[in-house]
Chain A
Amino acid sequence: MLALYEYTAGRLAEMLRTKETSSVEITRSVLERIDAVEEKLRCYVTVSPEEAVKMAEEADRRLAAGDGKPLTGIPIAIKDNMCWKGHRTTCASKILHNFHPPYDSTVVRLLKEEGIVILGSANMDEFAMGSSTETSHWGPTRNPWNVEMIPGGSSGGSAAAVAAGEAVVTLGSDTGGSIRLPAAFCGVSGMKPTYGAVSRYGLVAYASSLDQIGPIARDARDIALLLNIICGHDPKDSTSVPRDYPNFSNSLDKPVKGMKIGLPREFFDKLEDPDVNRVMKDARQIYRSLGVSFVDLSLPHLDYALAAYYIIAPSEASSNLARYDGVKYGFRAENFDGMIDMYCRSRAEGFGAEVKRRIMLGTYALSSGYYDAYYLKAAKIRTLITNDFRKAFEECDAILCPTAPSPPFRIGEKMDDPIQMYLTDVFTIPVNMAGLPGMAIPGGFSSDGLPIGIQLVASHFEEARLVQLSSAFQKETDHHLKRPSL
């Protein structure tokens, strides 16, 4: 028999409704699991067990009063870049090591209104800058399938926690692949919704035109349940799009027969890893057996997406991170000589190596004399990439491609080679550049038993179609049901 922490949110919600269990029992089961494996994996920056039990007790009262919502009483972890009033939110950075937000982010407010139990904040790359969760000030998170391997990043803590049973579901954020990559590397499901679908109010900003919050979970059903909560217009985020969202759970059982999936050759031409190739071939086979047809496509500017991204994202970051000045909140250096020196030293001591590298890169790209050659050029290429996708979606309902060019790699392997690290995101970044929804789901395993994810991409605000395609795939496969032994 499974322990409570091993069930999906959807199944636990049913058990709560039929009174087979209580939120306190579920929460205690997850907290015990955290006690048992957290030391090995380090999925969390902060766990708040007492607060979680209190929230669970409140959830049980709501459920008993018949006042429950679909996910009332389910334990979640949030990424450590989502403001939670009164709870330390560090962005995995020394510069915010003691920051206690005076307000809730919109996603946290929505979770509280749902009656979800917040367990704590999950580890991440510092300021979400990284593909491996190794740049965290608090140390790396380890991959539950093999603790010598990275879990992917930047939402590595969020993905590893779901894989290891240290949370039932989690929230991550995705600027260039930060939900989809760790979901793929940890053998779980993760979605980056359309830019503008989920409020960014209270999300610590990295690159504001790319950042998007989304769910990580064990299956498409749980992803749908979380999307139902977090998608929606928020007047506090001026890039939040006013529109109505469907009930995503309604798409779980819709047949996919007759759908057309695009296979952009630029994604597949670059594939060298035999395991990833095999998994992609298997995925095509499964969709074919479900009555899906395929169309070969070209996204001619895809090859430029990575270079353009590493101009745009650091440029926005250099501007966004100017707020960390050692004055209003966060770390201040002890020794300095005057105001400017205080800024320079506080930032030099407070930021880690990757964050400084990106601030340098972005400051350079925006500086006088280089703006046209770098930022403006990249912004134009972004238009071309977006147009490529628009044309592609005239011919297909969704795109199928790999999430990452390889299975998870070793801790430390790419830390001294930024370009190799950046290339990890080569298949996820184009999706952010165009603001599209993308979803990673487990597609199989490498010969070494490490998870490999497939990625589905749809047109703007077509999240329901991704839920539909993922759910259909998961009915035919059992990769998402496998759990690491710890």
Chain B
Amino acid sequence: MKITTEQVEYVALLGRLALTSEEKKKYSAQLDDILKYMDMLAEVPTDDVEPMAGPVKLFTPLREDKVEPSLSVEDALRNAPAVAGSSFRVPKVIE
């Protein structure tokens, strides 16, 4: 096995996903299959190859520092599941 149930639990926590025990079992098996398929990549010598993050050469576009209208508080809150005044409402974070 390339991936254990404990690892699946750890990764699920990192990914902030509350998985059922059934899902954990299913994903362990499926991720194991997928990772085995990916073993083929080890065949390719890549020591001298530069990694590529994307197809476009990135540059930093500069613009004038001009004040422009931005999203209103009302618009920003319109899709929120819970709102308090002009803020997003969340469960208590700091005890």
Which residues of A are interface residues toward B (Cβ below 8 A)?
98-100, 102-103, 194-196, 208-209, 235, 238-239, 241, 301, 303-304, 307-308, 310-311, 318, 322, 325-332, 336, 338-345, 347-348, 351, 356-357, 359-361, 363-364, 367, 374, 376-384, 386, 418-419, 434-436, 460
B23, B55, B82, B91, most chain A CB atoms within 10 A:
B55
A sample of 29 cross-chain residue pairs with beta-carbon separation below 8 angstroms, ordered by A number, consists of A102-B76, A102-B78, A209-B53, A238-B61, A307-B37, A308-B41, A311-B38, A329-B79, A339-B90, A339-B93, A347-B15, A347-B17, A360-B8, A360-B12, A360-B17, A363-B11, A363-B14, A364-B31, A364-B35, A377-B42, A377-B44, A378-B41, A379-B53, A380-B49, A383-B50, A419-B34, A435-B55, A435-B56, A436-B55
**Chain B residue with the shortest CB-CB distance to A345:** B18
Closest CB in chain A relative to B34 CB, distance in Å: 6
The A/B interface has a contact count, at CB < 8 Å, of 160
- In order of increasing CB-CB distance, the 5 nearest A-B pairs are A435-B55, A329-B79, A379-B51, A209-B54, A332-B81
In angstroms, Cα B46 to Cα A308, docked, is 13
In angstroms, Cα B76 to Cα A55, docked, is 27
Q: Say which residue of A330, A367, A376, A377 sits within 8 Å of B11 (CB atoms).
A: A367
Q: CB-CB < 8 A to A340: which residues of B?
A: 16
Cβ-based interface call for B52 (8 A): yes
- The verdict on A419 contacting B44 (CB below 8 Å), with A99-B79, A379-B51, A380-B49 known, is no
Given contacts A379-B51, A380-B46, A419-B37, 10 further A-B contacts (CB under 8 A): A100-B78, A339-B93, A356-B17, A360-B8, A360-B31, A364-B35, A377-B41, A381-B49, A382-B51, A384-B44
Interface flags, B14-48, vs A, CB<8A=1, else 0 = 11111100010001001101110110111010100
In angstroms, Cα B56 to Cα A195, docked, is 7
Q: Say which residue of A103, A329, A434, A435 sits within 8 Å of B71 (CB atoms).
A: A103
Q: Are A356 and B23 neighbours in the complex by a CB distance under 8 Å?
A: yes
Which residues of B are interface residues toward A (Cβ below 8 A)?
3, 7-8, 10-19, 23, 27, 30-31, 33-35, 37-38, 40-42, 44, 46, 49-56, 58, 61, 63, 71, 75-76, 78-82, 88, 90-93
In angstroms, Cα B58 to Cα A231, docked, is 18
Q: Are B63 and A235 neighbours in the complex by a CB distance under 8 Å?
A: yes
Q: CB-CB < 8 A to B52: which residues of A?
A: 379-380, 382-383, 386
- The verdict on A209 contacting B55 (CB below 8 Å), with A332-B82, A348-B19, A419-B34 known, is yes
Closest CB in chain A relative to B57 CB, distance in Å: 9
In angstroms, Cα B92 to Cα A386, docked, is 49
Q: Are B81 and A239 neighbours in the complex by a CB distance under 8 Å?
A: no
Q: Say which residue of A307, A356, A381 sits within 8 Å of B46 (CB atoms).
A: A381
Closest CB in chain B relative to A320 CB, distance in Å: 12
**Chain B residue with the shortest CB-CB distance to A98:** B79
Q: Are B51 and A376 neighbours in the complex by a CB distance under 8 Å?
A: yes
Q: Are B81 and A326 neighbours in the complex by a CB distance under 8 Å?
A: yes
Q: CB-CB < 8 A to A239: which residues of B?
A: 54, 56, 58
**Chain B residue with the shortest CB-CB distance to A344:** B18
Closest CB in chain B relative to A230 CB, distance in Å: 17
In angstroms, Cα B11 to Cα A174, docked, is 28
Q: Say which residue of A332, A356, A386 sits within 8 Å of B55 (CB atoms).
A: A386
Q: Are A318 and B41 neighbours in the complex by a CB distance under 8 Å?
A: no
Q: Are B33 and A367 neighbours in the complex by a CB distance under 8 Å?
A: no
Q: CB-CB < 8 A to B37: which residues of A?
A: 307, 310, 419
Q: Say which residue of B13, B38, B81 sits within 8 Å of A307 (CB atoms).
A: B38
Q: CB-CB < 8 A to A327: which residues of B?
A: 80-81, 88, 90
Q: Are A360 and B79 neighbours in the complex by a CB distance under 8 Å?
A: no
In angstroms, Cα B44 to Cα A383, docked, is 12
Q: Are B15 and A363 neighbours in the complex by a CB distance under 8 Å?
A: yes
In angstroms, Cα B3 to Cα A142, docked, is 36
Q: Are A364 and B3 neighbours in the complex by a CB distance under 8 Å?
A: yes
Q: Are A195 and B54 neighbours in the complex by a CB distance under 8 Å?
A: yes
In angstroms, Cα B69 to Cα A103, docked, is 13
In angstroms, Cα B93 to Cα A173, docked, is 38
Closest CB in chain B relative to A128 CB, distance in Å: 17
Q: Say which residue of A329, A361, A384 sits within 8 Å of B80 (CB atoms).
A: A329
In angstroms, Cα B22 to Cα A474, docked, is 50
Q: Say which residue of A303, A351, A377 sits within 8 Å of B17 (CB atoms).
A: A351
Q: Are A347 and B51 neighbours in the complex by a CB distance under 8 Å?
A: no
- The verdict on A318 contacting B56 (CB below 8 Å), with A328-B79, A364-B3 known, is no
In angstroms, Cα B60 to Cα A51, docked, is 39
